[in-house]
Structure formats: C-alpha cells, structure tokens
Amino acid sequence: MDDRLGEIVRALILFVTLAACTSCRHEKTISEPVRIDSTAVREGDLVFRCGYGMESKVVTSLSRGVYSHVGMLHHDSVEGWMVVHVVPGEHSKEEGVDRVKCEPVDSFFSVERACAGCSYRIDCPDSVAINATEYALRKVLEGVEFDHDYDTADTTRLYCTELIWRAYLSAGLNLVEEPSHPHPMHPSGTGIIFPSDFISY
C-alpha cells in the first residue's frame, strides 16, 4: 500500500481503538452542574466543557487536553447569559439536524452534558470579542449545520472549534495560525482544531 493509504489506515486504527477503549458509559460522579461566575465574564468569553460520551474521550485523548467542547458567551437582555455553540447529537427530535444554536449557560453545563467546565477570557479588546459574538449569532440565524466531516475547508458547515476560530478571525484576531492537528479520518487533508488550542492562546 502507498504511504498515503498507510497513513489513513493508521489513523483509522487509532481512532477506532480510542473509540473502543472509551465506548462504555462512564458513571457520572457529580451531582451539581458546572457553574461560572457571571459577574466575571464578558461577551465573547469562551466556555469549555468535558462530557461523558465516547466523542469527548476521543477528543481529549487525541488532543491531550482537559476539555472536549467549546462555546462562546453571549448576554441576552431577557434570558441572561447564553452559549453559542454547535455540537453533534443534541438536536431536537422535531429538528433532526445539528445546527449552531444559542442556549442558556445552565443547559450547556447541565449534569447530563458536563462533568467539568470553565470560562476563559481571550486577550483582546471588548470590541473584538463583541464582533466575534455577532458573527457566531449570525450563524445561528443562518441555521448553519454541524460539520460531521470536521472539514475546515468547508465553510458551509462548522464544528465547534471552527465556529470559534472563524468568529474571532472575522473580528481580526487569529486564535490558531493553522488547523494543523492531523485529521483522524483524513490525515493528508485539512488539519483540525482542538479546544485546547484556544486555551494556549
């Protein structure tokens, strides 16, 4: 087999092995949801969480990070603090499609979804963070779907970290110079971005 095919096979073996090692459902060890200090956050701050499922374990294993998912804070004058994010498997039965959404922070950090979490301030002026949030909110209105291929080259669909990266990029701040992590399914193609990439910014 040629080198490219060999790379793909090796990546698939790694991906399947990690999935198999983490496919069992982990017992939930917390009884209270993750909380953030609402007085210490601002528009555009990031919120990270780690879940219980196979996908979360694969992401943290591949990235060697603590968190597997990320969203962006937005303050709604009526609802309070909300999180703009896109994630697989949380769509309604009626909808049937995973899209960029805006939901209450308590829902984002519910005990069913998060075993750990935190908020994180990007080092930038308020105006940049606000502009980034406005980009993310436009994606909610546009009904942009989750990118199940995790293909950064496809701008019509987005995965969680890509949404954050493109939001801040649209505001003039590049949080990740290059989506350089090898893609588990397409190691010779476009790289992917992990949540831990933003924490090191």
Distance of CA 199 to the CA centre of its chain: 12
145 burial level (CB within 10 Å; 0-12, 13-18, 19+):
middle
Query: How do residues 28-75 score in pLDDT, each as one tens digit?
Result: 455 678 888 989 999 999 999 988 877 777 787 777 878 889 999 999
| pLDDT in the model for residue 2 | 46
190 burial level (CB within 10 Å; 0-12, 13-18, 19+):
middle
Q: Which residue ranges form the domains of the chain, and what is each CATH number?
A: 3-199 (3.90.1720.10)
| pLDDT in the model for residue 22 | 37
pLDDT above 90: residue 80: yes
Residue 169's contacts (CB-CB under 8 Å, 6 or more residues apart) are: 175
Residue 54: other Cβ atoms inside 10 A: 17
163 burial level (CB within 10 Å; 0-12, 13-18, 19+):
buried
pTM: 0.81
Q: Rounded to an integer, what distance in angstroms lies between the CA atom of residue 184 and that of residue 18?
A: 11
